[in-house]
Chains A and B, each alone.
Chain A
Amino acid sequence: DVKVTQSSRYLVKRTGEKVFLECVQDMDHENMFWYRQDPGLGLRLIYFSYDVKMKEKGDIPEGYSVSREKKERFSLILESASTNQTSMYLCASSLQIIFGLAGRYTGELFFGEGSRLTVL
């Protein structure tokens, strides 16, 4: 079974602190993603990576950065946490896009259990 492990289930930080959220996957997936989940807004993409040392901004990258030094690990960094970053953070991984009979085919996203961050 694919396993995506997020380092912390619950964190409480103070405004201005630096926060590291770690994510590790064990299935050799090329793609990794960081989403935040807020009620009524669904999942919003913060950053994603399709290869080691490669990163792309998602829809809401402001206030965040990422690091992918190894294929299995994707870290989300909040340089200076703010109260509006209180949220559930979800990491996901997937195989690289492959081609099926219908053309481009979307791989399944495998999610971690989430990290609930509270910034006071």
Chain B
Amino acid sequence: TQLLEQSPQFLSIQEGENLTVYCNSSSVFSSLQWYRQEPGEGPVLLVTVVTGGEVKKLKRLTFQFGDARKDSSLHITAAQPGDTGLYLCAGYTSGTYKYIFGTGTRLKVLA
């Protein structure tokens, strides 16, 4: 069974701090996605990475896919209260149609 472990599980920081969330697996994925979920809503896609070593930036968010395509990280610079939410990584393996989701990281940014 493929598993995606995220760390940390919970994170509470002050506005303006930097943080990194990790998503690790022993399995290789064809691509990996990051979603953010706010209370009372479904997850919304932030980014998809498909190439080992790929780095994508979305304003203050930087996403990296590991060289071996087994892990990924999300780095937020100068966090803001609007970044508060549940962050989920999701790995995809070709031919399976299945997205395997990580355990989630709940982030709270205090003003």
User: Interface residues, chain A, CB within 8 Å of chain B?
Assistant: 4, 31, 33, 35, 40-45, 48, 50, 56, 58-59, 90, 92, 97, 100, 102-106, 108-109, 111-114
What are 22 contact pairs spanning A and B, CB under 8 A? A33-B99, A40-B103, A41-B103, A42-B6, A43-B101, A45-B99, A45-B100, A48-B98, A58-B98, A59-B1, A90-B43, A97-B94, A104-B30, A104-B95, A106-B48, A106-B99, A108-B45, A109-B90, A111-B42, A112-B42, A113-B41, A114-B42
Q: Interface residue tally of chain B, by bracket? A: 20 to 34
| B84 contacts partner chain A, Cβ-Cβ < 8 Å | no
Taking CB atoms and an 8 Å cut-off, the chain B residues in 18-45 that contact chain A are 30-31, 33, 35, 40-45
CB distance from B22 to the nearest CB of A (A): 14
**B4 with A100: CB separation less than 8 A:** no
**B30 with A103: CB separation less than 8 A:** yes
**B50 with A113: CB separation less than 8 A:** no
* Distance A59 CA – B43 CA, assembled complex (angstroms): 19
**B44 with A42: CB separation less than 8 A:** no
**A31 with B4: CB separation less than 8 A:** no
**B42 with A48: CB separation less than 8 A:** no
**Set of chain B residues within 8 Å of A31, measured between Cβ atoms:** 97
**Nearest CB in chain A to that of B94: its residue:** A104
Q: Residue A97 contacts which of B1, B88, B97 (CB distance < 8 angstroms)?
A: B97
**Set of chain A residues within 8 Å of B4, measured between Cβ atoms:** 42
* Distance A2 CA – B43 CA, assembled complex (angstroms): 13
**Set of chain A residues within 8 Å of B44, measured between Cβ atoms:** 111
* Distance A33 CA – B98 CA, assembled complex (angstroms): 9
* Distance A103 CA – B52 CA, assembled complex (angstroms): 13
* Distance A113 CA – B104 CA, assembled complex (angstroms): 17
